[in-house]
Amino acid sequence: MPASILPHFTFNPNAYTLGLFEQKDIVCECCHQPRTYSYAGPIYCEAEVDALCPWCIADGSAAAKWDAEFQDWASVEGNSPDPAEASAPINAASLEEVVSRSPGYNSWQQEVWLTHCQDMCVFLGYVGGEDIRPLLPELRPDLQDWPDEEFLLRSLSADGGLTGYLFQCRHCGQHRLHIDCD
């Protein structure tokens, strides 16, 4: 793949427009190549990584080099943080792709990657109340902890203190929503 073609991320297809990569000149700490994009999302590893290109995320070399995760495995919906406990059945290849070869997303507290149809959902982006209003019938199961729906719709913001994170099942098209606040 020529270096000029940015890699596509199946489970985070909008990563470049969501601010998860900054367009700036770097030398990637993984491949040591000069690059024009630097990762600005979460990375879970012991190393302090400041300059990472999208190619090293996409091919898994960054995860392998630093034993890194871009989505905390224990924060995938249905996964138990205790390895001794059974987890929900999730497509293992998709789980590995999200954790090791997909950019994560920035959240206030802890990112939660949602699942549906026993597979990882696609992260679509940050959303506010007006963004989700047309999707409310689909999202109601995810809004059970929010008894005042109108308050939520007024307060939810794509970039504020109460933020929505919109996902979609790649099998049935069902939308899912995670909400987090500062």
Query: Which residue has better confidence, 81 or 39?
Result: 39
Half-sphere exposure of 7 (CA within 13 A, CB side): 21
pLDDT-above-70 percentage for the chain: 94
Burial class (CB in 10 A: 0-12, 13-18, 19+), 31: middle
Q: What is the structure's pLDDT at 25?
A: 97
The pLDDT tens digits for 62-97 are 999 999 999 988 899 987 767 677 677 889 999 999
The pLDDT tens digits for 21-31 are 999 999 999 99
Q: Which of the 8 DSSP states describes residue 28?
A: -
As given in the structure block, the two tokens for residue 96 are: 């590995």
Q: Which of the 8 DSSP states describes residue 134?
A: G
Q: How confident is the model at residue 1 (pLDDT cuts 50, 70, 90)?
A: very low
As given in the structure block, the two tokens for residue 93 are: 């290849």
Q: What is the structure's pLDDT at 170?
A: 97
| Helix or strand run (H / E) with residue 37 | strand 34-39
Q: Is the pLDDT of residue 2 over 60?
A: no
Closest residue by Cα to residue 167 from 108, 104, 110, 109: 104
Q: Structure pTM?
A: 0.92
Q: What is the structure's pLDDT at 15?
A: 97
For the chain, the residue count is: 182
160: left (phi over 0), alpha (psi -120 to 50) or beta: beta
As given in the structure block, the two tokens for residue 42 are: 């979460």
The pLDDT tens digits for 111-157 are 999 999 999 999 999 999 999 999 999 999 999 888 888 999 999 99
Q: What is the structure's pLDDT at 17?
A: 96
